[in-house]
Structure 1
């Protein structure tokens, strides 16, 4: 059992299932999910030491050791729902939990009904390191983290959620009915935890219908510093690929992010990688050139342009000059959107939101 184990779920499962689990129950489920292997054809009983699980959570109070059977017993009772078109599927998380006295071991097995959402996933799934959620204190943090993580690659860089739908996903329809209380007790603590502990963070914009806040816009950002998962290399995967190809792709995206001093989201890193046809050395070379320029408005857009037009560093010892000392087009405010392919269709456009300021709550 390792905090660097990978949790993998289908995006559909994340965005269409409603459940209410305690923080301990969520961490147990996600730890168990991280033990599922890509080559597994079906769920099998997964054994682990209770002491290892307690240590993984960073819990020093050994009283938690005796509480694990209570946690699994409650989990066995909890049924949640997944909506598929006109069908509602009711599923229990676990099919069995077995303890052998005197061994300190527990054997858990997922319900087989969960297989389509957690195993042999080739398209539209999200994966992340277990370390991202282990130290969280709010029961809502892991759930919101997953919702944002599976939307990290959206071309517009944000996700809008109807407030009522978010409450439903969190099973918090009747929790803090006043939005001000919901924001203060749920959203703001989650925002702080994600920024401190995970590989992503978010800014929040409130959308009103009349005078009432009805929708929330989460602007998702890469959290490159000040978190406990600096080596995160797992993101939402769209499109079919083999496990080997998938692993290679996420590793390359992580490498691109590590080159830049600026924070990049997954889409930006992937766009740069695609432009360079996967050649990390070219990305390093062009970033080194761009990083010495003055008055660069868009680093991402300029690096992409530098790769496409093969910018060359000045010869000799001369210091790199201003932006316009290079043979290149004048900066266009929509340059980065065009280079990233965001102007291909109405649905893909960044829109004015991309160029406007972001409210950081």
Structure 2
């Protein structure tokens, strides 16, 4: 197996819009993209050329190296196909269509290849604010192209613990055509269940699926995501370790509410997809009396709420007023939630709360 897929230090870090993009790659092509992605330093300001050996490329593409007949011809054909593969990223002002790579160069005498990412993808790999990261070895054992995509899509929401997608959204992400798997039963049998079986058996994630119906038809899926107890014990993924500590943190709260532990601040900052400062994390902890589970609970509500402009002020108000979600019944739908607070009223108070938080943290 290509060595980066067993390397503890090989980490893939992608912007969330890239995780949710629409594209279709073969299993081998995904392995190549992920192997090259793991070489990117998200702190860089510009892309570099990323190198793998020709033998490594062949291994990732599952080509038998023992057969020398037309080997380089096949490799160049496959790299040419990869070079032509497009990705559609849904941006706020419209869809961006780009190729994964702008160029792939062979160095025949040196036995290596240089990959150059399309410059349009720079903001989805470099200087990231909202992103998903995981160790490359976590997906090393996955043998289905859909399993890898499903893993990334669910990994993005691991902190939240659940994610709901319509069948249409999921098929769009996988670029499954309108004539493929027309029946939900076929989609479930050919795509969902094999991916679930592989992910639950071989990765640090585990998930269950709840079907949401409109009338008698399954139209959406709710994925219940958790850390995989069968695999996680063998992983040294620091991100997963932090999440585990967050879940247990309320049992070990500080004795004095007015004392904020630096480690707790780090955990709150890690919890948020949005970029927040240490002072903001400290203010949230003070309002929550160091109860990290309470912060997580309100953050889950926030992720289910549209139109939040000031996440820090909103969370502070949610903790103070103890916002909750409650189920309601809509004909033909399951698992639908309704807010028991007025969003317009809250938005009017956000600026005042933010100013107060800023004054307190500066003291």
Q: More displaced, 218-227 or 26-35? A: 218-227
Q: Name the counterpart of 1:91.
A: 98
CA distance in 2, matches of 1:58, 1:173: 24
**CA contact under 8 A between 2:17 and 2:91: conserved in structure 1?**
no
CA distance in 2, matches of 1:273, 1:35: 38
- Change over 3 Å in CA distance of 1:69–1:278 after alignment to 2: farther
**CA contact under 8 A between 2:147 and 2:195: conserved in structure 1?**
yes
Q: Name the counterpart of 1:27.
A: 31
**Residues 1:113 and 2:113 aligned together:** no
CA distance in 2, matches of 1:28, 1:228: 28
Q: Tell me by how many angstroms 1:228 deviates.
A: 9.6
Two-structure CA RMSD over aligned residues (Å): 3.7
Q: Name the counterpart of 1:162.
A: 166
Q: Deviation per CA, 1:137-183, whole angstroms, max 9, x where unpaired?
A: 111111111111111112xx211101111110110133211110110
Unaligned runs of 5+ in 2: 255-259, 265-288, 305-322, 329-334, 336-363
Pick the aligned partner of 2:64 from 37, 61, 65.
Answer: 61
Unaligned runs of 5+ in 1: 236-251, 258-266, 281-307, 310-334
Q: Tell me by how many angstroms 1:351 deviates.
A: 4.7
Q: More displaced, 139-148 or 338-347? A: 338-347
Could you state the TM-score of these two structures normalised by the residue count of structure 2?
0.65
**CA contact under 8 A between 1:337 and 1:350: conserved in structure 2?**
no
Task: State the secondary structure of the residue aligned to 1:195.
Answer: helix
**Residues 1:183 and 2:183 aligned together:** no
Q: Name the counterpart of 2:16.
A: 11
Q: Tell me by how many angstroms 1:26 deviates.
A: 0.7
CA distance in 1, matches of 2:98, 2:61: 30
**Residues 1:128 and 2:138 aligned together:** no
Q: Deviation per CA, 1:278-303, whole angstroms, max 9, x where unpaired?
A: 669xxxxxxxxxxxxxxxxxxxxxxx
**CA contact under 8 A between 1:196 and 1:227: conserved in structure 2?**
no
CA distance in 1, matches of 2:61, 2:232: 16
Aligned positions of 1:303-322 closer than 5 A: none
CA distance in 2, matches of 1:71, 1:11: 28
Pick the aligned partner of 1:153 from 159, 163, 179.
Answer: 159
Q: More displaced, 59-68 or 177-186? A: 59-68
Q: Tell me by how many angstroms 1:337 deviates.
A: 7.2
**CA contact under 8 A between 1:198 and 1:229: conserved in structure 2?**
no
Q: Tell me by how many angstroms 1:71 deviates.
A: 2.6
Q: Name the counterpart of 2:203.
A: 198
Task: State the secondary structure of the residue aligned to 1:152.
Answer: coil
Could you state the TM-score of these two structures normalised by the residue count of structure 1?
0.66
Q: From the two aligned structures, give the one with the greater helix fraction.
A: 2
**Residues 1:268 and 2:258 aligned together:** no
Task: State the secondary structure of the residue aligned to 1:215.
Answer: strand
Q: Tell me by how many angstroms 1:345 deviates.
A: 5.8
CA distance in 2, matches of 1:217, 1:233: 27
- Change over 3 Å in CA distance of 1:343–1:90 after alignment to 2: closer
Q: Tell me by how many angstroms 1:44 deviates.
A: 1.1
**Residues 1:277 and 2:261 aligned together:** yes
CA distance in 2, matches of 1:58, 1:273: 48
Task: State the secondary structure of the residue aligned to 1:186.
Answer: helix
**Residues 1:234 and 2:213 aligned together:** no
Aligned residues: 274
Task: State the secondary structure of the residue aligned to 1:140.
Answer: helix
CA distance in 1, matches of 2:123, 2:100: 13
**CA contact under 8 A between 1:163 and 1:215: conserved in structure 2?**
yes
CA distance in 1, matches of 2:77, 2:61: 19
**CA contact under 8 A between 1:253 and 1:270: conserved in structure 2?**
no
Q: Tell me by how many angstroms 1:72 deviates.
A: 1.7
- Change over 3 Å in CA distance of 1:9–1:349 after alignment to 2: farther
- Change over 3 Å in CA distance of 1:168–1:339 after alignment to 2: closer
